[in-house]
Chains A and B, each alone.
Chain A
Amino acid sequence: MGKEERIRLGHGSGGKLTHELIDNLFVKYFSNPELDRQTDAALLRLPKKQLAFTTDAFVVDPIFFPGGDIGKLAVCGTVNDVAVSGANPLYLSAAFIIEEGFPLKDLEDIVKSMASEARSAGVSIVTGDTKVVNKGHCDKVFITTTGIGSLPEEHLHISEGMNTVVGDKIIINGSIGDHGMAIMSARNELKLNAPLLSDCASLNGLISRITSVSSNIRFMRDATRGGLATVVTELCQGKDFGVSVSEENLLVNEGVRGMCELLGFDPMYVANEGKLVLVAASEDADNILKAMHDHEHGKDARIIGEIVAEHPGKAWLNTAVGGNRIIDMLAGEQLPRIC
């Protein structure tokens, strides 16, 4: 890495410094046959005719948080977006916008984290870009990743849930609200100390497991911003079926509960980064749960609701005390309430 300790404008200008950075950092850690060629565009051979193609920008603050960092998130987030469409994630691109003065050590840690996550997800980062902007013109580092996966014909219906029918079960792979509250506690603006870990994880391994035991997966989505509530309301919006969720079946970790009660947040609306919501034929539910329980990211998988004929287009919650009420889409950010 040489004697440089911080990123300078020169690192983004395309000259010697840029090449050094690419060779000694990005290519070094991301290394794979396509990337190593360092062509302007990665040349890829793809197995199937259908592709799933997605992009996401990551601007999380703080960039290092309990359970992960912006780099890990940049890989998981995009891998998951591809995987929930039923596609097999293969290749990622990674574009960095870095603030002048950003510590090189931090960049290296982020890149290492991305490389590690990409390896365990089985994807290659095959192309990328680096820009450096003047101090104050971006917040430390922003990362944009774009992902491609091959989408088998038999999974085409999954993204839109076109085959969903009344009686189908809604399954989630674990607890809700972890990522959002981990970020809140890490920001420490509200002076809360809670041992909360982000659930940030690549879910393609778990998803392969699921699709191998059932060919009746109707719909999948990862519950990110807006939380579980946003997924279930979007799932039935404008459709001729409704969604019924059972609050008793939701798993909320104690630390997340405590912080949500304290701040007046509803865990159903808090962001996750390692949670899969899927809809499947009810006769396959048991096999799916069994397969999920065997996987590290599915140990707490459970059925949380079902597709119903009542209240078409709307999602309702059976509350833990026996009442019921509608689940609506969140408008704007949840802010800590005092009231």
Chain B
Amino acid sequence: MIKYIDEYRDKELVLKIAAEIRRISSRPLRFMEVCGGHTMAIQKFGIPSLLPETIELLSGPGCPVCVTDRKFIDTAIAFSRLEDVIITTYGDLIRVPGSSSTLDEEKGKGRKIRIVYSVLDALEIARENPDSKVIFLGVGFETTTPSSAAGITNATRMGLNNFYLYSSHKVMPPAMTALIDEGVKIDGYIAPGHVSTITGTKIYDDIPEKYGLGCVISGFEPLDLMQSILMLTRQKEREEPKVEIQYKRAVMQEGNIKAQKLVEDVFEPCDDWWRGLGVLPGSGLNLRQEYENMDAAKAIAVEVENTREDRGCICGEILKGLKTPSDCKLFGKACMPGDPVGACMVSNEGACAAWYRYKGT
């Protein structure tokens, strides 16, 4: 029994909620989740099979790997080809296609690329290899940004002068509003549970206010997801859109203030380019000027190849929930989990990878 996990996988309770959703659902509704963890959990537990046909779940740009610019990978690869560089990265990035290679392929060619679970491991590697430049690839939304921030402040505390961050960190809400601005039709958001653990609820306030859409901050276990879908359905049936917390055991209204402050001290917002969405103002995070010397993008000179785009890849539209993976000409043929073209297929929770695994072609 794993505490705080198994209790929320109780079959009887899940089926009870399924019955309640069926009872109150009177018309077609579409809810979008914007979190890779939610995409995976929904498919893994077979949630769609528990819902009435009136309710459709869409997968939005919740996978930070999927929305990462190909140029980021190309640059990381270019860094890895420098003699004195060690690249440290989360496993999620290793197979994301760059213009002509992947970090995995480069690793195979002998480049110093190490998969780590935590930025703390990267700091250790920096400490143990004083003659190398250790670059940590910072990807992820608000859940992960505090770790990278801690990485920077810890490096300073430890007196390390060979630790660098290459940041592609992003924040969620600009993507959520951009989608609706672009005309994606949904009836509510299943909001990311762990992002909200850090940020609290305030980042979603615009969504019911300006767009009339409900946001339910959801946990990741089957009970959590079902309850969140029930709450969104109720909100819609009553025409009462608001921000609600389903994941009360981990999300507080104000979030984690200490982590928020740390992020604010280290990062500042910038415009950033999202695959499928283009440039979203204020959606990215860059290191502040006082940390310039640890910013790989500024401190380490490197030549990067020209970014190549793929023909036929509709990851952008899939990320926006406008098309499904089966609408893509490349899906299951030129683009497969073993041989991905777009990022939606590379990442385990990319919409296409999840679709391929759980629904087939």
- A→B interface (CB under 8 Å): 189-191, 248, 254, 257-258, 261, 263-264, 266, 314, 317-326, 328, 331-332, 335-339
Residues of A within 8 A of B40 (CB): 264
- Cβ 8 A contact of B117, one of A190, A319, A321, A322: A190
B359 at the interface (CB under 8 A from A): yes
Residue of B nearest to A334 (CB): B348
Interface size bracket, B side: 35 or more
A-B contacts, 27 of them at CB < 8 A, read A190-B117, A191-B121, A254-B2, A258-B2, A261-B5, A263-B117, A264-B40, A314-B360, A319-B45, A321-B11, A321-B15, A321-B50, A322-B46, A323-B48, A323-B49, A325-B44, A326-B357, A326-B358, A326-B360, A328-B356, A332-B95, A335-B91, A335-B94, A338-B140, A339-B36, A339-B37, A339-B349
Alpha-carbon separation in the docked complex, A318 to B9 (Å): 14
- Distance between A106 CB and nearest chain B CB, rounded to angstroms: 26
- Distance between A334 CB and nearest chain B CB, rounded to angstroms: 8
The 8 A CB mask of B1-18 against A (1 = contact, 0 = none) is 010010001110011001
Residues of A within 8 A of B15 (CB): 321-322
B348 near A337: Cβ-Cβ < 8 Å: yes
A323 near B140: Cβ-Cβ < 8 Å: no
Interface SS, B side: helix
Alpha-carbon separation in the docked complex, A264 to B44 (Å): 11
Alpha-carbon separation in the docked complex, A324 to B51 (Å): 11
**Given A319-B45, A332-B338, also A338-B358 (CB < 8 A):** no
- Cβ 8 A contact of B360, one of A264, A322, A328: A328
A322 near B50: Cβ-Cβ < 8 Å: yes
A323 near B47: Cβ-Cβ < 8 Å: yes
- Distance between A95 CB and nearest chain B CB, rounded to angstroms: 25
- Distance between A234 CB and nearest chain B CB, rounded to angstroms: 15
Alpha-carbon separation in the docked complex, A325 to B356 (Å): 11
Residue of A nearest to B348 (CB): A337
Known: A324-B46, A332-B338, A338-B90. 19 other contacts (CB 8 A): A264-B40, A266-B44, A321-B11, A321-B45, A321-B222, A322-B11, A322-B46, A322-B50, A323-B14, A325-B46, A328-B360, A331-B337, A331-B338, A332-B95, A336-B91, A336-B115, A337-B91, A338-B91, A339-B65
- Distance between B41 CB and nearest chain A CB, rounded to angstroms: 11
Alpha-carbon separation in the docked complex, A189 to B359 (Å): 33
B63 at the interface (CB under 8 A from A): yes
- Cβ 8 A contact of A261, one of B2, B115, B140, B356: B2
- Distance between A24 CB and nearest chain B CB, rounded to angstroms: 38
B64 at the interface (CB under 8 A from A): yes
Residue of B nearest to A192 (CB): B117
B92 near A339: Cβ-Cβ < 8 Å: yes
- Cβ 8 A contact of A325, one of B10, B49, B65, B117: B49
Residues of A within 8 A of B94 (CB): 335
**Given A320-B11, A328-B357, A332-B338, also A337-B92 (CB < 8 A):** yes
Residues of B within 8 A of A332 (CB): 95, 337-338
Alpha-carbon separation in the docked complex, A263 to B92 (Å): 11
Alpha-carbon separation in the docked complex, A263 to B348 (Å): 13
Residues of B within 8 A of A324 (CB): 46, 49
B330 at the interface (CB under 8 A from A): no
Alpha-carbon separation in the docked complex, A34 to B49 (Å): 60
- Cβ 8 A contact of B359, one of A326, A337, A339: A326
A322 near B348: Cβ-Cβ < 8 Å: no
